[in-house]
Structure 1
Amino acid sequence: MPVPVIAVFDIGKTNKKLLLLNEQYHIVFEQQTCMQETTDEAGDPCEDLHLLINNMRQQLAAVLAMEAFEVKAVNVSAYGASLVYIDESGAPAGPLYNYLKPYPEELSNRFYATYGDRERFSHETASPALDSLNAGLQLYRIRHRQPLLFSRTRYALHLPQFLGYLFSGQVFSEMTSIGCHTGLWDFARKQYHTWVDREGWLDKLPPIVPATRTTPVHIAHHALQAGVGIHDSSAALVPYLLQFHEPFVLLSTGTWCISMNPFNHEPLTTEELQQDCLCYIRYDGLPVKSSRLFAGHTHETAAQEIAGFFGEDHQSYKVLPYDPEVTAQLAQSPEFSILEMSRYENSTAAYHHLVMMLVKQQQHATRLVLGHTAVKKLFVDGGFARNNIYMQLLAKAFPEMEVYAATVSQASAMGAALVIHDSWNTQSVPADLVQLKHYA
């Protein structure tokens, strides 16, 4: 008998994955693809949209043909802050612009002069002013700099929903994509901000449906349910929300370390916005107060500098044991600096000092999202969850909380499967989605 599975595409900036999960949420098949970027009309790097589309269609056709599996559903988790413009025929009308594309300063100034100064607008939309990283400002740029693309566009779809549309044939918007620092959503009024209508985009944004929505489809003679797609950061939170019902904060660590408090619904303050806080929206529509820290990138760069100075392999530092005597001595030292490597007697001291600095910054960033919530648990997933020095120091930095290293296999993909659980899975949701290791 073929095994019933869901196919999930997990589309990151660098890695694109196709995973098959069985009814117990075990990964039974995984395929990873790295794709070369292309460039837009200005020569800026961007996703090769046509290559991505063709690759996903071919991969789904291949797994549908496998006799070992019965694919019951398909869904997508993908990165946010990116939009696909489709024409009347449903084909892409322009490139998939990169969210790091330089934004014209004059246009940015004009936008805020028209629709409220940066501070007020950021409050209303829970979006720090991030230029192209605010997907709404990409729409504004097209309206004013690319009138041909604007007139050709029938619908503007967030990337997760465009990739869902490839299989469902239905155009939708969805709250986890609208609510990730886009500048599109008025959080107090719970509707699109007034500028969206005034700029002529309201009719080009598809109807909003919940992340739990599916569409019955036939693909290559197979009947399956197609999901609408979900923003990857919000998808990664879903396994935790389903398994843990007491308040918690999730610290998701990678290049960016993002602290997410799904239980803090207080409006963002000016101070929080200035310190890179924002709100995501959960798959069930509630806001998630979050803060960002570029700590993974800082760690990688500095660890390579330490290794270069001491003539070692920087990968070895990730498994260094925690030495409380070293941290006690370093506590009296000035801040870690890669410019003063000679002051350390060995790489162990230098690396401990680097992690102490990162944890101190993380302590501040995470405390920003605690608010008045009665959070007692801090879950850490991603790269730093496997770093013993980091986890020990983080537990010391939050003595009033239970600090856990959390392991979820492919959390974003699992979240995309879980939100449409009822449409493909005959079993109940397992109680052990997340594995925990406690640090006292």
Structure 2
Amino acid sequence: MPKIPVTAVFDIGKTNKKFFLFDENLKEVHNTYTRLDAIPDEDGFPSEPILPLREWMLDTFKQALNSPEFEIKKLNFSGHGASFVHTDEQGEPVTPLYDYLKPFPEELLERFYAENGGKMAFCQKTSSPPLAMLNSGLQIYFLKYAKPELFKNVRHCLHLPQYLSLIFTGKMVSDYTSIGCHTGLWDFEKMDYHDWVKREGIEPLLPPILPGNSLLKTKPELGGIPCGIGVHDSSGALLPYLKQETKPFALLSTGTWAISINPFNKTSLSESELTKDCLQFLSISGQPIKISRLFIGEEHKYQVDEMYAHWKLPLGTYKKLRFDESWYQKVCQQSKKRIGFHYLKPTDYGLEKSDSSNWSSFSEFTEAYYTFLHELTDIQVASLQLVLDGAPVTRLFVDGGFNANSIFLEMLRKKLPGMEIIPSDFPNGSALGAAMLVNMNS
């Protein structure tokens, strides 16, 4: 029986590492995934297990190459942003893949901003909110001055999606979607690397930029197959919608982060927007796209774990709840905020906050969960509004983990009455976008 021709995609998230096969109609025909334990870096802070990840990817790919059912015709990668792999001349990592939540030395950060015209001026030029390690370009500055012994061995700095491509092709490149993702590297006024990148001698460490739909080839021992250069996951998630939709829309891509993306919003960033984690991405062709971000996946996990511990409930309890109008009306009538957010700051969006959650004040888990989602969706709507103002749309697609949460979706519908809220048909949007990229020219 003839083998089914497929496009293979590795979709490397912070939590799940996934491998997909898509047929010629870009329908998913196979997937597998793993989770890898973090490895402490030299300071004892958890870091991405880059070598075990590489080993898993190569093993998984070789198994798929030998599949009696599928024939891999193309390969691509999608990966989370704000992550750099620093390598030697041969492409071997010489530092851990630092976690973007790792603390940045405050004094060094202040020095950096002082050298670059002040914090907010720098942030406006680079369309990057001040996020310390999450401004991944600043990780190179951190390495240069806080870890000089490690830095002297660095010859190349690759964004994670492009490092994944390097594993299979042996070629080092950069792409717009990673460079433009709140890195602090790109000057959106000049549409070139910011002066600090050149001044610090960092530009030579950054490989040449190729368009996002460029094709390389895997190494001969890996089949010599046409292979993409990788794409930043949020940019990948947008592609299926851009291809399918003819009218303006916005996308809320949810997971660890909720990324609000309005590809039709070309307005420039204000200082106020930057302080609320609003920024611009670069598309695969290098065009600016306005987005805002919210750490809702981690916030949800933290609060639900707290509730489970208080009521001694098994994992997954919240998934059994469905939207109930009477519960919604009840929590809407509460006069004071009752959730003490762990990661999010309601006051950034002009909303009230509670200092802590008193779970004993709730009648039961359902009331607490509805109250949490009510207050969470208030913040989510405020974050969304940042990309809708100036370029309003009437449709919002929601993909990723929260598109299966009926309470979350219904609350958004209540709070955005003029908006059609559409749960997405692309639950693996970033992987599908990566598959589309390598099939654009065929």
TM-score (norm 1): 0.90
Code of the aligned partner of 1:63: A
CA distance in 2, matches of 1:326, 1:44: 41
Aligned to 1:436: none
Q: 1:91 to 1:268 in 2, by over 3 A?
A: same
Deviation string, structure 1 residues 376-430 (Cα, Å, up to 9, x no partner):
101112232222222122111111111111131421111111111135x6xxxxx
1:299 shift after superposition: 3.0
- Larger CA deviation: 157-166 vs 210-219: 210-219
Q: 1:221 to 1:312 in 2, by over 3 A?
A: closer
CA distance in 2, matches of 1:148, 1:304: 41
1:295 shift after superposition: 2.7
CA distance in 2, matches of 1:311, 1:98: 32
Code of the aligned partner of 2:135: N
For the 8 Å contact 1:157–1:172, the answer to whether it is kept is yes
CA distance in 2, matches of 1:343, 1:217: 59
Code of the aligned partner of 1:27: E
Code of the aligned partner of 1:28: V
Aligned to 2:3: 2
**SS of residue matched to 1:292:** strand
CA distance in 2, matches of 1:342, 1:34: 35
Matches within 5 A, 1:50-89: 50-89=51-90
Aligned to 1:412: 430
1:26 shift after superposition: 2.0
For the 8 Å contact 2:168–2:219, the answer to whether it is kept is no
1:344 shift after superposition: 4.0
**SS of residue matched to 1:368:** helix
Aligned to 2:93: 92
Of the candidates 363, 366, 372, which is equivalent to residue 384 of structure 2? 366
**SS of residue matched to 1:10:** strand
TM-score (norm 2): 0.90
Matches within 5 A, 1:20-169: 20-169=21-170
1:142 shift after superposition: 1.9
Q: 1:309 to 1:54 in 2, by over 3 A?
A: closer
Q: 1:153 to 1:346 in 2, by over 3 A?
A: closer
CA distance in 2, matches of 1:388, 1:116: 46
Deviation string, structure 1 residues 237-285 (Cα, Å, up to 9, x no partner):
1111111121111112223222111111211111111111122222232
Of the candidates 360, 368, 372, which is equivalent to residue 350 of structure 1? 368
CA distance in 1, matches of 2:85, 2:132: 18
Code of the aligned partner of 2:374: M
1:343 shift after superposition: 4.6
CA distance in 2, matches of 1:271, 1:304: 33
The alignment of Structure 1 onto Structure 2 pairs a total of residues equal to: 424
1:23 shift after superposition: 0.9
For the 8 Å contact 1:38–1:48, the answer to whether it is kept is yes
CA distance in 1, matches of 2:85, 2:63: 25
CA distance in 2, matches of 1:390, 1:116: 41
**SS of residue matched to 1:88:** coil
Code of the aligned partner of 1:253: T
Q: 1:389 to 1:183 in 2, by over 3 A?
A: same
CA distance in 2, matches of 1:310, 1:143: 48
Fraction of identical pairs, as percent: 42
Aligned to 1:296: 297
CA distance in 2, matches of 1:275, 1:380: 21
CA distance in 1, matches of 2:368, 2:45: 38
For the 8 Å contact 1:128–1:277, the answer to whether it is kept is yes
Aligned to 2:338: 336
Q: 1:29 to 1:266 in 2, by over 3 A?
A: same
Q: 1:382 to 1:114 in 2, by over 3 A?
A: same
Deviation string, structure 1 residues 202-261 (Cα, Å, up to 9, x no partner):
112111111100013453373310111111121111111111121111112223222111
1:16 shift after superposition: 1.4
Aligned to 2:344: none
- Larger CA deviation: 125-134 vs 337-346: 337-346
Code of the aligned partner of 2:337: E
For the 8 Å contact 2:170–2:219, the answer to whether it is kept is no
CA distance in 1, matches of 2:312, 2:49: 39
CA distance in 1, matches of 2:142, 2:360: 49
Matches within 5 A, 1:140-289: 140-220=141-221, 222-289=223-290
Deviation string, structure 1 residues 285-322 (Cα, Å, up to 9, x no partner):
22222222233333333334445555544633334232
Deviation string, structure 1 residues 57-76 (Cα, Å, up to 9, x no partner):
22222211223211111111
CA distance in 1, matches of 2:389, 2:80: 27
For the 8 Å contact 1:168–1:227, the answer to whether it is kept is no
